[in-house]
Amino acid sequence: MIHSLFLINAAGDIFLEKHWKSVVSRSVCDYFFEAQERASEAENVLPVIPTPHHYLLSVYRHKIFFVAVIQSEVPPLFVIEFLHRVVDTFQDYFGVCSEVMIKDNVVVVYEVLEEMLDNGFPLATESNILKELIKPPTILRTVVNTITGSTNVGDQLPTGQLSVVPWRRTGVKYTNNEAYFDVIEEIDAIIDKSGSTITAEIQGVIDACVKLTGMPDLTLSFMNPRLLDDVSFHPCVRFKRWESERILSFIPPDGNFRLLSYHVSAQNLVAIPVYVKHNISFRDSSSLGRFEITVGPKQTMGKTVEGVIVTSQMPKGVLNMTLTPSQGTHVFDPVTKLLSWDVGKINPQKLPSLKGSMSLQAGTSKPDENPTINLQFKIQQLAISGLKVNRLDMYGEKYKPFKGIKYMTKAGKFQVRT
Amino acid sequence: TLQRCLPLPTLRGEWQSGLVGSRCPGKVSPTGWISVLHFTVNEDLKQMLESSKDSAKLDAMKRIVGMIAKGKNASELFPAVVKNVASKNIEIKKLVYVYLMRYAEEQQDLALLSISTFQRALKDPNQLIRASALRVLSSIRVPIIVPIMMLAIKEASSDLSPYVRKNAAHAIQKLYSLDPEQKEMLIEVIEKLLRDRSTLVAGSVVMAFEEVCPDRIDLIHKNYRKLCNLLIDVEEWGQVVIIHMLTRYARTQFVSPWKDLFHENNFYESDEEQKEKDQKVKDTYSMDPDHRLLLRNTKPLLQSRNAAVVMAVSQLYWHLAPKSEASVVSKSLVRLLRSNREVQYIVLQNIATMSIQRKDMFEPHLKSFYVRSTDPTMIKTLKLEILTNLANEANISTLLREFQTYVKSQDKQFAAATIQAIGRCATNITEVTDTCLNGLVCLLSNRDEIVVAESVVVIKKLLQTQPAHHGEIIKHMAKLLDNITVPVARASILWLIGEYCERVPKIAPDVLRKTAKSFTDEDDLVKLQILNLGAKLYLTNSKQTKLLTQYVLNLGKYDQSYDIRDRTRFIRQLIVPNEKSGALSKYAKKIFLAQKPAPLLESPFKGRDHFQLGTLSHTLNSQATGYLELSDWPEVAPDPSVRNVEIAESAKEWTGILGKPKKEKPTEKFYSESEEEEDESAGTNSSGRYLESILHLHCLENCIFRTDLCLNKIEKVTKKSRAVYKIRKSEAKVYVTTQVSVPAKTHELLHRMSGKGLAAHYHFSRQPGIFGDHMVSVQVTVTNTTDHKIENIHIKEKKLPPGMRMHEFSPIECLEPAGSITVSVGIDFCDSTQIASFQLCTKDDCFSVSIQPPVGELLLPVTMSEKDFKKEQAFIPRLCLNILSVPNPRLL
């Protein structure tokens, strides 16, 4: 399926290549460079590019293009999903996935890639298994290896590969047994000029960090499972029990993983926690425009809105902006025309605002559209959909684990049209 | 970018080779440069590889792998590296493997040195080593070793470790691509591996099947049900491959579930007849249970975290499910839109194709396709495409409001696409045509040229559909001609004026005058339209425009483009009468001013549905190499019994072994008959059943039945002959044996997880029913795994099929923590394998549980003398007699 993989950085250099079948010349990437040139931005490079003898499927993450070379028909999502899994694995192994990191750990990267695919077909993609085959580099292990001459490579087949729970490694031991669950909800919304909601929906995930000894069997139940409109699970979740009882029952992987993602549909009324008052105007005659925005809390259930960042892509005609924020800091990049204002916390008594003027290029006419405002924010200890975890039980092991649940609401793609 | 241009390396090469002093004049190639450049470096790597210390070797190997990763040539180190293939250090070994897979093809002779090491490793007790040896051996693309590979694959395919078998499946594809002549032998291995029951192997072998022999659908029959049932436990990548294969399979084996949509209304038939016909169609179609099985078993996978799996199931439902069921996938597809941009891109393309045929599937999710200013352009245009497909009378006003925002977007390419979309809505929904047209006319005064140009093009198309009362708009557009520079827009305006020149008689000649002036500077596209305009005016208003047209035609005659010259010659012959012009010029007016059909504005995704959804070909809208066409549904379903094999075939195997083949009716018929019988005999004395078993058990000389298969057969016979025995039951004297070996096999009734700590198991004791003749005795063991007492355990709410009865145990007052207790329950299963469902309750909770007797457990062992046995045997009707002998397990 997947013939070869090329990693290309922002400057257009191929800094890593890996072939699973016979070698494909790197000149095949020239077609990719062509496409890259045609698309003005990296984001606009098409994920599927046909060439006379091959097909190039790519994903763009962490400023790196991961380009897979395919020779014949294959479900494109298969390859794309796999490439994303590769990036996730690198991130898991090295903490960050960057060109420098990959170059520094090129041998581990190569060994991992070797295990992930055989003849272009995925072999081991669970990070729990990969980590048993090839141990991630740590400072301690590097030191130990140099002294004792031991290696990073496991010589036994990870038992997970064969068991019914391939995602969990065996022989897990902890002195402190703990299981943390983060319920994180993101609000995607489009708010129109007048402040009314055009569309709003909630996308939630439950991320878990489970460090439990042995083979624990967990169940997690909700107070109000009916809220969840559409869900997708980590393979460890027993689907039948969810269907019949709306309970999440699973033997967790070891470490960090995403247990569940869910969707609360647009049909339910979504509480919008913030509002934006804006007054942005350009005048035809003068080369100055007015700019004024105020951010305030709306339906926050008594919680503080923090981590607020306002960004806006200003029209090309704007040369510079002279602004004064009532709090926080702001930056305007005259090249990319991106305005970004780091607001911080919203104090309901004293609403943060950003006021000032814009200078426009002389001679150009006024832009026909006002810029869209993108909002980021965080609210701790609140799941905006009202989802509540009822209880978490553990079976199969004797000890008493420490359990923790955290809720958080964030802005997803939150846009205000002006 | 410096790296990519040639001159520099060559220069550097010259410099380098000059330094080393081994330069052949005029023979410096880039590759020569590389090997020379690495000459010194490689020398010390070679030394390190030959050192006795593992750490030095490892260091060297790591550096070499680094070189390979960067795409540098390290092939000349081959002899030094290959020596280390048998290294004890596993990391060195692995890195050598990496090196071998990369360079073995180039250095075939040297690569052969390593083969014996792999052959030895193939026999290693460690499965990981066996598997990786097979992996590397099969990845060395050296044709000479094909027979060795073939042998290794054959052996590995019957390895005890499923992991090794999985690798064998991968190796099949590698060998096939190296030597396609091995196809037949490989198919044999595939056939064998397809029978494998391990979830680990399933995905890989189906992949091999798809690559090597996708047309051998017959290999799938026997494994179809198994694959369906294993599917949920297969790893996600395997799921995708299997689902795609099963989609193709199902399209060849089942009849279309869409029939009811196809028939057309017959005008002459009365409603009554029509209804009857409908009814008939509905009656005649019933879905094959195997077809249903596939749909049912794939549905939970819509909840997968893997986008490829979700897409695979969606396309399966799209291509296989009845129309009413296909819509279950839309929610999951919409969920994927939250994912990365690449996933969004593919999913949106597929939704675009679906939404043309099935608006209703995605209408409820309309708002999920609203465009955000931060979306990349390709995502924006796809969303727009879908919004346009979904437009109808009900939602058009909301959509148009949304489109208004998009038109003002800073992304002008997207704004232009929006205008196209508005045009399409306007033609498709007649109610809003005027509104749209007015909106577009307003856009003509937009500042951005691309927006104006696009509007002109779309207005042109719209006007063509209803030109009658739009003289004003045409005038307005004629005025625009002075300012617009985009060729397509200019050409569109000129065409409009020419086409409707009689509506704007004063303006048209003036436009021609102006454009004649600028003719030489215009784009080819515009020139053609100027010629067109001239011709049309010459025909309708020759008095004013004769000279102008001739001037334009003269310009065209000497144009650089042969297209223009050609068109000029053509038009001149047609419109200017001279002695040479033939009969055609009489019809010139009819030719030029004929009523032209309005262009159809339709989705660019219209034609894509002939590709299977979710494929690369669909994404590219052109057939990719290796694309396998999805066949049309067969008119008549091929024999469904080919998939039945599992029981029938194993039974055949058995009879084969036993050496006494006998006539057997098809299994299915067996079942239906016995079910009928059940109705009559439900509740009657079932000692006949016991008797029956006696005979056979005796025939086996009191051996213990271990195989369910045999029991299964006996039971079938039991059912057949029960009627006969009913008559004779009074005479039969049966001594029930109490001493009998009971298989220790227990079945789970309630898992401790679902029972909040209360676990329950049951097994069939094969004891005479203590609650009466009809009752089969079931031993239920209840265990308390919690740390507190469980009180009052009892049975409630029995849900039994008609005829079945159940004798429950008396409530257990209290069960201590970690305590367990065994109780007896009697159930009359009426000789069937129907499920007995009931609730197991404690003081606080109730849990639904069920008992289903496995085939062959509805037996009672009895002892009788050989004489009695022979006597009873004589009464068994010929047809039902079934003689088997089973080896005594004690002798095995």
3-state secondary structure string, B734-760? CCECCCCCCCCCCEEEECCCCCCCEEE
Bigger pLDDT: B841 vs B156: B156
Query: Contact at 8 Å (CB) between B783 and B759?
Result: yes
Query: Contact at 8 Å (CB) between B56 and B14?
Result: no
**Measured distance CA(B760)–CA(B577) in Å, rounded:** 103
Residue for token pair 């070996």: B741
DSSP strands (E only) in B498-615: none
CB atoms within 10 A of CB B79: 12
Q: In this structure, is the dihedral angle defined by the CA atoms of residues B653, B659, B661 and B662, taken in order, positive or negative?
A: negative
A229 to B331: CB separation less than 8 angstroms, yes or no:
yes
Bigger pLDDT: A222 vs B680: A222
Res A48: pLDDT: 93
Convert the pLDDT of each residue in B472-514 to its tens digit.
788 888 888 887 888 888 888 888 888 888 888 888 888 889 8
Bridging pattern class, strands A178-191 and A402-416 = parallel
Q: Residue B887: pLDDT band by 50, 70, 90 thresholds?
A: low
Contacts of A151 in chain B (CB under 8 A): 58, 89-91
Confirm or reject contact between A300 and chain B (CB < 8 A): no
Residue of B337, B381, B380 lying closest to B362 (CA atoms): B337
Convert the pLDDT of each residue in A263-283 to its tens digit.
886 566 788 889 999 988 887
Bigger pLDDT: A17 vs B285: A17
**Measured distance CA(B840)–CA(B752) in Å, rounded:** 13
Res B295: pLDDT: 93
Element (H, E) at A6: strand A2-8
Mutant choice from A77, A215, A397 vs B, greatest count of B C-beta within 10 A? A77
Query: Contact at 8 Å (CB) between A156 and A380?
Result: no
CA distances from B293 to B205, B246, B255, B299 (A): 21, 12, 15, 10
Res B257: pLDDT: 87
Q: Which two tokens stand for residue A242?
A: 């969810």
Distance of CA A66 to the CA centre of its chain: 17
**Measured distance CA(B752)–CA(B231) in Å, rounded:** 26
Beta bridge partners of A282: A289
**Measured distance CA(B124)–CA(B758) in Å, rounded:** 45
A81 to B161: CB separation less than 8 angstroms, yes or no:
no
A239 to B347: CB separation less than 8 angstroms, yes or no:
no
Res B689: pLDDT: 41
Order of all β-strands in the sheet with B758-764: B747-750, B758-764, B776-784, B820-828, B805-807
Element (H, E) at B78: helix B78-82
Beta bridge partners of A260: A206, A233
Most confident of the ranges A93-97, A241-245, B313-317? B313-317
DSSP state of B817: T
Confirm or reject contact between B349 and chain A (CB < 8 A): no
Confirm or reject contact between A19 and chain B (CB < 8 A): yes
Bridging pattern class, strands A274-282 and A288-297 = antiparallel
Nearest CA in chain B to A17: B69
Nearest CA in chain B to A27: B4
**Measured distance CA(B585)–CA(B535) in Å, rounded:** 12
Residue of B740, B779, B748 lying closest to B859 (CA atoms): B740
Order of all β-strands in the sheet with A373-380: A230-233, A255-264, A197-211, A178-191, A402-416, A373-380, A306-313, A338-344, A329-333
Convert the pLDDT of each residue in A345-385 to its tens digit.
998 889 999 999 888 887 766 776 778 899 999 999 988 88
Residue of B608, B630, B633 lying closest to B244 (CA atoms): B630
A313 to B170: CB separation less than 8 angstroms, yes or no:
no
Q: Is the pLDDT of residue A339 over 80?
A: yes
Contacts of A374 in chain B (CB under 8 A): 373-374
Mean pLDDT of chain A: 86
Convert the pLDDT of each residue in B745-794 to its tens digit.
778 888 877 777 888 888 877 766 666 667 777 888 888 888 788 888 88
Element (H, E) at B692: helix B687-699
Distance of CA B356 to the CA centre of its chain: 21
Convert the pLDDT of each residue in A112-137 to its tens digit.
998 899 888 988 888 888 888 888 77
Shortest Cα–Cα distance, B308 to chain A (Å): 5
Contacts of B305 in chain A (CB under 8 A): 232-235, 258, 261
Res A124: pLDDT: 85
Task: Write the residue in B177, B240, B620 that is nearest to A78 by C-beta.
Answer: B240
Q: Is the pLDDT of residue B684 over 70?
A: no
How large a percentage of chain B has pLDDT more than 90?
18
CA distances from B154 to B164, B189, B199, B228 (A): 11, 7, 20, 26
Mutant choice from A6, A57, A70, A78 vs B, greatest count of B C-beta within 10 A? A78
Q: Residue A320: pLDDT band by 50, 70, 90 thresholds?
A: confident
Confirm or reject contact between A235 and chain B (CB < 8 A): yes
Confirm or reject contact between A146 and chain B (CB < 8 A): yes
Q: Residue A138: pLDDT band by 50, 70, 90 thresholds?
A: low
Q: How many CA atoms lie within 13 A of B619 on its CB side?
A: 29
Nearest CA in chain B to A106: B66
Q: Is the pLDDT of residue B727 over 60?
A: no
Q: In this structure, is the dihedral angle defined by the CA atoms of residues B56, B57, B60 and B66, taken in order, positive or negative?
A: negative
Res B734: pLDDT: 44
Q: Is the pLDDT of residue B859 over 80?
A: no
Bigger pLDDT: B768 vs B850: B850
Distance of CA A53 to the CA centre of its chain: 33
Nearest CA in chain A to B448: A368
Res B815: pLDDT: 80
Res B655: pLDDT: 39
Query: Contact at 8 Å (CB) between A205 and A256?
Result: no
Convert the pLDDT of each residue in B689-722 to its tens digit.
443 443 343 333 333 333 333 444 444 444 444 4
Residue for token pair 């039971």: B715
Residue of B780, B783, B687, B781 lying closest to B731 (CA atoms): B687
Residue of B541, B542, B493, B546 lying closest to B515 (CA atoms): B493
Mean pLDDT, to the nearest integer, of B269-277?
53
Task: Kindly give, in sequence order, each residue whose CB lies less than 8 Å from that of residue B12, ignoring residues fewer than 6 positions away.
Answer: B33, B37
Res B383: pLDDT: 94
Residue of B337, B316, B333 lying closest to B325 (CA atoms): B316
Q: What is the CA radius of gyration of chain A?
A: 25
Mean pLDDT of chain B: 77
Q: Residue A47: pLDDT band by 50, 70, 90 thresholds?
A: very high
DSSP-derived 3-state class of residue B588: helix
Q: Residue B277: pLDDT band by 50, 70, 90 thresholds?
A: low
Res B664: pLDDT: 40
